Each structure stands twice: as structure tokens, then as C-alpha cells.
Structure 1
């Protein structure tokens, strides 16, 4: 008997052969196969840490030592990380013309490292930093420092603290990225969700927006999501394996690691 995920991959590949305008939305599950931890899964980071204590605007301003220690650990985890099978497959499908837009909730930069050209980062990037006051750009190494007390906090010449270029809890998402994501959803015929729990707004509404104007939705995620009822293709399997099968069906070569 054929594996249901293989059947779904073949059906999804058949849909992609029709060359719909395809929007991909990726979450932490796209990167767990690259060895990075997720956030909200059964063993996710937020199961053991309160994000308000280490990853919020309040933490940056009132608990900076723990804030910088947390992100230094995150950078150490990210250092040396290489694109996983989902990143490589998506980049190959983009090169072959099957993907038009990719929106990611991830901040690891692994889509770009895999060669993906059009990436909309709605939560920012942990590959760069900026001054919290004046916005001056800095390399991420500027915040990869050992902060034991307030005197160790990295600062810009303007006096502002230098922080990772990501969206913290209590901050609004970057307008340009969110606008680009929703504009893509307005045009898309197919929304392919890869490794997202679809719990974080507002981008979790992208599949509904595509479905509302007659588009189709595919969800590849190990755990259920609040929007599973929208999906024509619902595949509870590892994203990299499913996408590799989709690529094989389409005759698209996916580079090895």
C-alpha cells in the first residue's frame, strides 16, 4: 500500500504542473530538519523559556543581560547551520519556476543560504543587527558578545543599544514585509504551508486569504494547525521528504547538502 504522504506529494506535483502562482509560507518545521530547534512544538524553546523574559521589547529594555545571553546562545546554535532538505527543495522548485513568492516566519536565513532568491522575512533576520535608537545597521557579530552586566551591552555611537534585527515580542511586524506577503496572497492561486503551526498572526491568515478568493491550500506540517480545514492537501509528514518527492515527480533536481 502506498504511503499517503507519497500520494499527496504526487497529487501536489500534478497541481504544480499547471503552473499556478504559488505562495509558500514556511515556519520552524522547515528548519528543524537542518538541526535547529522549533519554538512551539512538544520540545520547543518556548516550552521551557518564557519569551517575555528573554525575547521581548520589555526584556531588551529591562532585562538586557538575560536578553543578550539568550540571543548569544541562539547565535551559537545557528552558527554552522546549513540548509536542510526543505530549504534545498524549495530553492530548486523556485529555480524551476514553480514558486513565485516565499514568506518565512523564520529568522535563520537558511532559505537564502540554499539559494532562494525571493524571500519575504516577516519576523526579521538573525543574520544582521541594528541600533535600537537610530536604526544604523550592524553585522550580527556586534551582538555576539558576553554580557554579564549593563556595562557590557553593545552600543551605537548615538548611545542606543545594538540589537538583533528581528521582531521581538511586543513589537509590530515590519510594514513592508507584511504588505508584500499579503499582496502576494491576493495574487496567489496556491498557498503551500511548510512547517508552520499557523498560530502566529497576522501571516497565519495568508492561507485563508488565498482560499477566500478561490485558491487552493496545501499544508505540510507534522502537527495539526487551526487552518487544516482549508487544505486540499494535508500532509502530516517531514517537509523535506515530501518536497523532495514533489521535486522528483516534477523532474527537478535538488542539490545534495
Structure 2
């Protein structure tokens, strides 16, 4: 059973200036800082949460369209979802939250990003160490011979299933479907192993393996700084006792994360 968040200190932007400054100082004092991002960080770029009302999962139920079995037995049906997803992602640009996170890495204050997103916006913003749990939607891969190629606009416009130029097998985006193994687990474990401050950005961290990362950091006596639109009511799944110095930044990430990063960078190293 999940517990109510009680020990996390709530920060609602610049109005909680004292707590904001304390959080920034705590961030500076950490030795290894990592970010975990989910759908919420990309909402400001015009990409809706797939699980939200009217999101992709309400139109294309994942158990019907997003499984490996469906792709292997009926690739045309799976590509209905792939095209819809591709059109949602097409032309989207990083928002201020993505750019703020990239600025932290550029200044040596962030050691890596673990993301559940497949939109490539962290990389576009400038982050270099990005571990994509669920793969990416910018490349197509052949499950038969291993050929890969970049996604092109015509892949979303044409009605036929794109085929591998080498062996003729149907291509699929490099996203992780239900029934496939998630990606980069060993690298993620190594990155989190000695992390003492985790930024949880735009995700409720309810789906594993991402759900286990906040708990792992807390077991190592690390801190959790969570940024989300909704008020905190539940702690991430897999968490244990709340650690001292945890913060919850409530509001639009496009505003709250840049404000926090600006505060951090104003402090003397």
C-alpha cells in the first residue's frame, strides 16, 4: 500500500522563497544528481500524456495495439498506433523545462537523465547522457536482421507497413512494446547506485522499472525532489520512509523547473 506524502516540503514557485532557496542549497550539496523524467515534462511541448483523458491510450488501448504479439501477428494494426504517435511527436521542440535540465548537465550539476519518454526532446535540448527506458520513436528497427534506419515523415503518411530494405521483414519503431524487455537497465542501475539526489520530473513513478528508482535512492539515504502539476497525494510506488530534505514542486514544469535551476545557478559553488 502506498503512503501519503507528509514529510515532503511543498514548494509552489517563487512564493515559497525560503523553501526554494533551501532546496537549491541541498541540491548544490549533493554529490551525484540524476533526473528521472516522464510524460509531464513534455506536456509543455504540446505532447499530451498518453494516459490522460483523450490521450493515445484511450483511442488505441495498449493491450490491443502496443504488444509485441500484435506487431508480429498483425503489423498493420500496430502501425495504426505508431503513425498516430509519430504524428503527435512530429515537429515538437524542447520547452523551458528540457532546456533547464540541459543547463544543469552543461554546468556539471547533473550526471544523467533516465527517461520514460520516447520523444528525443532531452537530446534536442542538449542533454548528452540520456538513458531511454522505453526506447525512442526516431528510428525504425528490423527484429529479423537488426537493420535500423531513421524515421521519415512519409512513414507516418503512407498506409502500408514499412519493410526492411535488407530482408523484407516489417519494421517497427524502437519503442518498447508490452512483451519486450525495457532498455538500458544495467546502465540505469549503475547510474542510480550511488545517486544521492533524484529529480523526479513529470511522472508519478508508478510503472516499473522507473517506479523502483526513488525507493533505491532513499534506501541509500538520498533525497527526492519531485516536480509535477498535481498536488502531492501519493509517494512514488516502491518508496520507503520519506527522507529528510525531500521537496515537492507543484505546478507547470515549464515554470517550476527553470525557476529552481535559476536559483541553483545563482548560488556560489
1:45 paired with 2:59, answer: no
Which of residues 94, 99, 109 in structure 1 aligns to 2:105? 94
Q: Which moved more, 1:187-196 or 1:216-225?
A: 216-225
Deviation for aligned residue 1:146 = 2.0
Q: Deviations over 1:125-163 (max 9, x none)?
A: 111111121211111128435235xxx442342232111
* 1:25-174 → structure 2 map (5 Å cutoff): 25-141=36-152, 143-147=155-159, 152-174=161-183
Q: Sort the Cα spacing of 1:197 and 1:81 in 2 relative to 1 into closer, same or farther, 3 A.
A: same
Secondary structure of the structure 2 residue equivalent to 1:106: coil
Flag as ranges the 4+ runs of structure 1 deviating above 6 A. Answer: none
Q: Contact (CA 8 Å) 2:225, 2:247: kept in 1 or not?
A: yes
Q: Contact (CA 8 Å) 1:12, 1:233: kept in 2 or not?
A: yes
In structure 2, distance between residues paired with 1:105 and 1:198: 10
Listed as ranges, the gaps of 5+ residues in structure 1 are: 253-257
User: 1:221: which partner in 2?
Assistant: 228
Q: Contact (CA 8 Å) 1:143, 1:163: kept in 2 or not?
A: no
Q: Which moved more, 1:40-49 or 1:91-100?
A: 40-49
User: 1:245: which partner in 2?
Assistant: 259
Q: Which moved more, 1:237-246 or 1:61-70?
A: 61-70
Q: Sort the Cα spacing of 1:161 and 1:220 in 2 relative to 1 into closer, same or farther, 3 A.
A: same
State the superposition RMSD in angstroms: 2.2
Deviation for aligned residue 1:3 = 6.6
Deviation for aligned residue 1:106 = 0.3
Q: Contact (CA 8 Å) 2:37, 2:202: kept in 1 or not?
A: yes
Q: Which moved more, 1:117-126 or 1:8-17?
A: 8-17
Q: Sort the Cα spacing of 1:9 and 1:181 in 2 relative to 1 into closer, same or farther, 3 A.
A: farther
In structure 1, distance between residues paired with 2:196 and 2:30: 9
Q: TM-score if structure 2 supplies the norm length?
A: 0.84
Does 1 or 2 have the higher relative contact order (CA < 8 Å, sep 6+)?
2
1:202 paired with 2:209, answer: yes
Secondary structure of the structure 2 residue equivalent to 1:144: helix
